[in-house]
Structure formats: structure tokens, C-alpha cells
């Protein structure tokens, strides 16, 4: 395998982690080591690994059929539940992975509005496809001025960026100025409502409301990329958590308990451009029945047991965030812990807050990579850049053990 892994997201400073099995909040690697897992498949395992209801639903569906290339009743039920749970969702189309759903949203926005340009924010990730992989984690030497960032490709082999406007996040003045400069041309403004691919950065109070107002004023659609935040922060996603409704949203990861399902959802008037055939949307494995069975089982739990599920997620998140802050203070290492709770980020920095990509780029990411390696050696698995995901399978004892290991790892780095 190229690089020994099947996705660049799995590259680490040391040897790639090869997993034998997973259950609840734990992974077992091929050498028999056990890890308390805060990666959770990059977020999908919201209910922990192999939740019994999802395993049962998937096993039953495999015996009934794996792929149909036809409609089936379960996808209609999942679409109905998703529309009932998500504030802005009136119509749904399913995909397999988040990059596909995000790509579909951009195409739909252009097709619906007849406008060519998409405005995206620096530091935000919307998949690895060519049109969108710009200015995610660019070198600040290449990124251009703070108020007018350049579109920096994320990889060799990408064509030049066309019809793409890059904007700093959490800066309404910059957004207003850029939308005025490109008036009548911007089909959509696309944002992660909580920036989870660059830390776990929440919007400033009133920021997303201001983005919504600017989109309405300019006739541009607002797209929320909820691939990570969807169903993790609330049953209705970040849009419920933050009280702002977009025109289109994309979901994935946590919606199917670990199976590969994503969705594009939004206002009927916009989605009907797909219904009519004006905007093309296809895929052999869209609404694949095994994945949809997992989504149906997962969303039923998240919807019908919402108080228990989200109460647990936020309680464990607060407990772990507080414990990590106290551990860093005890060791004397300057560290910031920020985020909603069910997902959060640790940063090595003296800054009081991280509000955008350039703040994130100023943190000590080399130190974070060393911490990741030290934790992995001690049986704790977090996302290498410092992101932590919680699940309902994590216990108070897991969190307490993690804090103790974290303090020991920090001391080893401070002394090293």
C-alpha cells in the first residue's frame, strides 16, 4: 500500500496503527495493545464501536441484500427521520462519503442560482476532491494577506482554482467586503458551523447569524458542512445547537454509527433542482441498504434517546476537558482546551483563544505531534492534530484514566 495506509488522514509521525478489532470505547491493535479511543473513526462512532443495535441492523440487512440499485423502504424512513430531526431539511439525497455530498452541494448551489462562484473559508475542509481542496492548512507564506487570502491548493496535481473566493473565518467585515466585491456572482457561502478540521473552533456570538443575513442580502445560498458536527452536537446538528438554519447541509460520519453513509439535505425549493433533473446527482452505492440500515438504527437512538445520549456526551466532554486543563496547569505547560464537548481540541499556545486558521497555525503543532505519539505509547488514541471525539461508550473511569495518562505524557515531554 502506498505509504502503508489507505488515506492520508492516517499518516502519523511513527508506525501506522493497525487495528485488529474495536468495541465500545476501545481498540485492540494487531500486537495485542489496548487503547482508549478518542478518534472513533474520525468521529462516526458516536455510540462507541460496534453498538449492538447497529450491529443487529446491519447483520439482518446483509442477509436480505447488500446492493439493489433500486429504492427500498428503509431509505424513505431514514429520510423522513432526518427531515424531522434537522431544522433546515425538507428534501434529502443520500451519498456514500462526505466528499461526495459536499461536491453535490456546491454543484447544486451553482445550478440553482446560475452563479459561478463559491466562497469558502480559510482552514475549512470540504473533502479531498479537486474543486474544494484549497486553503485548508496552507503555509502562511503562501496564504496571502489576512483580509484577502489566496486560494492555495492542498496537493500537487490540482488544476488552478477557478470561481473560488477565500475568506477569513469569524470576521464579518471581511466577509461583507468580499461579498460586495463579488456581488451577483457568489452562488453559495460554505462553512463548517463549528470548525472541526482546524481545531474545534466555535463561531463568535452572532457570527453565523451575520453570515446568514449577508447571504440573504446578496441572494447567495448558505451551506453548512455538518459532516463532523451533524448529530454529534445535537439531534439536529450544529444548526440546532447554534440556532441558525442554512439552505443546504451535508451530513456523514455520526449518522450511521460507523457505516459509510452521507446525505445532502435542504430547502425543498433548492433541492427540487435535483428532483427535476436540472442538476445531476448519481451514485451506484447511494442509499446502499446495509449502510441505510445502520443509519436507521443510529438515528432512532439519537432521536428517541436524545436526553440520555447528549447528556452523556456533554458530561463526559466537560469532565475530560476540565481534567486535561488541570493536568497541563499542574505540569506547567501552556495549553488551551476549546470546543463544545462532544468534540474538542487541545492546543499548545499562550494565546487566550483560537478563533481562526491563522490562530491555529500559530500554535505549537510539532509539540502536539509529540504528545500524540506519547499518548499512543501509553494506550490513548486521539486525532494527531489534537482533536478529541467523545462517545456514549466512554465512562467516567475511562476519562479519569485518560487524564492520569495525559499528565504523565505531558511530564515526559516537559522533561525531555
| Catalytic status, residue 117 | no
Query: Residue holding cell 469558502?
Result: 120
Q: What is the layout of strands, in order, in the sheet containing 34-37?
A: 19-23, 26-29, 34-37, 380-381
CA distances, 363 to each of 123, 197, 333, 334, 372 (Å): 14, 15, 13, 11, 15
DSSP classification of residue 150: -
Count of helices and strands (H, E) across the chain: 12, 14
- Nearest-5° Cα angle at 365, 362 to 366: 125
- Would you state the cell numbers that stand for residue 309, as one nine-digit string? 445520549
**Active-site hit among 171, 207, 241, 253:** 253
- Burial environment of residue 114 by CB neighbours within 10 A (0 to 12, 13 to 18, 19 or more): exposed
Please give the sequence-ordered ranges of beta strands (E in DSSP) within 261-325, or none if there are none: 262-266
Sheet holding 186-191, edge to edge: 91-95, 262-266, 248-251, 221-226, 186-191, 117-121, 164-167
316-321 contacts, C-beta under 8 A, 24 or more apart: 316/341, 316/390, 316/394, 316/395, 316/396, 316/399, 317/341, 317/342, 317/343, 317/344, 317/390, 319/396, 319/399, 320/344, 320/388, 320/390, 320/399, 320/402, 320/403
Strands of the 387-389 sheet, one edge to the other: 335-338, 343-348, 387-389
Annotation says 125 is catalytic: yes
Q: CA separation (Å) from 318 to 38, 176, 218, 357?
A: 14, 35, 39, 24
Question: Which is catalytic among the residues 37, 171, 225, 398?
Answer: 225
Which residues share a beta bridge with 223? 190, 248
Neighbouring CB atoms inside 10 A of 413's CB total 15
Q: Which of 125, 310, 347, 357 is labelled catalytic?
A: 125
Is 68 among the catalytic positions?
no
Cα→Cα distances 196→70, 102, 238, 357, Å:
35, 15, 11, 11
CA separation for the pair 35, 378 (Å, rounded): 8
Burial class (CB in 10 A: 0-12, 13-18, 19+), 70: exposed
Which residues are catalytically annotated? 125, 225, 253
Amino acid at each position: 500500500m502506498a505509504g502503508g495506509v489507505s488515506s492520508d488522514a492516517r499518516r502519523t509521525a511513527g508506525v501506522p496503527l493497525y487495528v485488529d478489532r474495536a468495541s465500545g470505547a476501545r481498540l485492540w491493535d494487531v500486537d495485542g495493545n489496548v487503547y482508549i479511543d478518542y478518534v472513533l473513526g474520525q468521529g462516526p462512532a458516536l455510540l462507541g464501536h460496534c453498538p449492538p443495535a447497529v450491529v443487529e441492523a446491519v447483520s439482518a440487512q446483509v442477509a436480505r441484500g447488500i446492493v439493489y440499485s433500486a429504492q427500498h423502504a428503509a431509505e424513505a424512513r431514514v429520510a423522513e427521520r432526518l427531515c424531522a430531526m434537522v431544522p433546515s431539511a425538507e428534501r434529502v439525497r443520500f451519498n456514500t462519503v462526505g466528499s461526495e455530498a459536499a461536491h453535490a452541494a456546491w454543484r447544486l448551489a451553482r445550478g440553482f442560482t446560475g452563479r459561478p462562484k463559491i466562497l469558502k473559508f480559510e482552514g475549512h475542509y470540504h473533502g479531498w476532491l479537486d474543486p474544494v481542496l484549497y486553503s485548508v492548512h496552507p503555509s502562511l507564506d503562501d496564504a496571502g494577506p489576512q483580509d484577502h487570502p489566496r486560494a492555495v491548493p492542498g496537493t500537487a496535481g490540482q488544476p488552478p482554482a477557478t470561481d473560488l473566493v477565500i475568506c477569513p473565518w469569524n470576521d464579518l467585515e471581511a466577509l461583507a467586503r468580499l461579498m460586495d466585491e463579488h456581488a451577483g456572482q457568489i452562488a453559495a457561502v460554505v462553512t463548517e458551523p463549528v470548525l472541526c478540521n482546524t481545531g474545534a473552533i466555535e463561531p463568535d456570538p452572532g457570527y453565523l447569524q451575520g453570515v446568514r443575513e449577508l447571504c440573504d442580502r446578496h441572494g447567495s445560498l448558505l451551506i453548512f458542512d455538518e459532516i463532523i458536527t451533524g448529530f454529534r452536537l445535537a439531534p439536529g446538528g450544529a444548526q440546532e445547537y447554534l440556532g441558525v438554519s442554512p439552505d443546504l447541509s451535508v451530513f456523514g460520519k455520526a449518522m450511521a454509527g460507523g457505516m459509510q453513509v452521507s446525505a445532502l439535505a435542504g430547502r425543498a425549493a433548492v433541492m427540487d433542482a435535483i428532483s427535476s433533473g436540472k442538476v445531476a446527482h448519481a451514485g451506484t452505492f447511494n442509499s446502499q441498504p446495509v449502510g441505510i440500515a445502520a443509519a436507521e438504527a443510529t438515528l432512532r437512538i439519537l432521536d428517541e434517546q436524545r436526553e440520555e445520549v447528549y447528556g452523556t456526551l456533554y458530561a463526559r466532554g466537560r469532565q475530560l476537558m476540565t481534567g486535561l486543563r488541570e493536568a497541563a496547569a499542574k505540569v506547567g505547560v501552556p495549553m488551551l482546551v476549546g470546543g463544545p464537548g462532544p468534540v474538542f481540541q487541545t492546543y499548545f499556545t499562550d494565546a487566550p483563544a483560537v478563533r481562526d486558521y491563522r490562530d491555529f497555525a500559530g500554535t505549537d503543532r510539532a509539540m502536539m505531534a509529540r504528545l500524540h505519539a506519547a499518548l499512543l505509547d501509553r494506550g490513548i488514541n486521539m486525532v494527531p492534530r489534537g482533536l478529541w471525539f467523545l462517545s456514549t461508550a466512554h465512562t467516567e473511569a475511562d476519562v479519569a484514566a485518560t487524564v492520569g495518562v495525559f499528565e504523565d505524557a505531558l511530564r515526559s515531554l516537559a522533561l525531555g
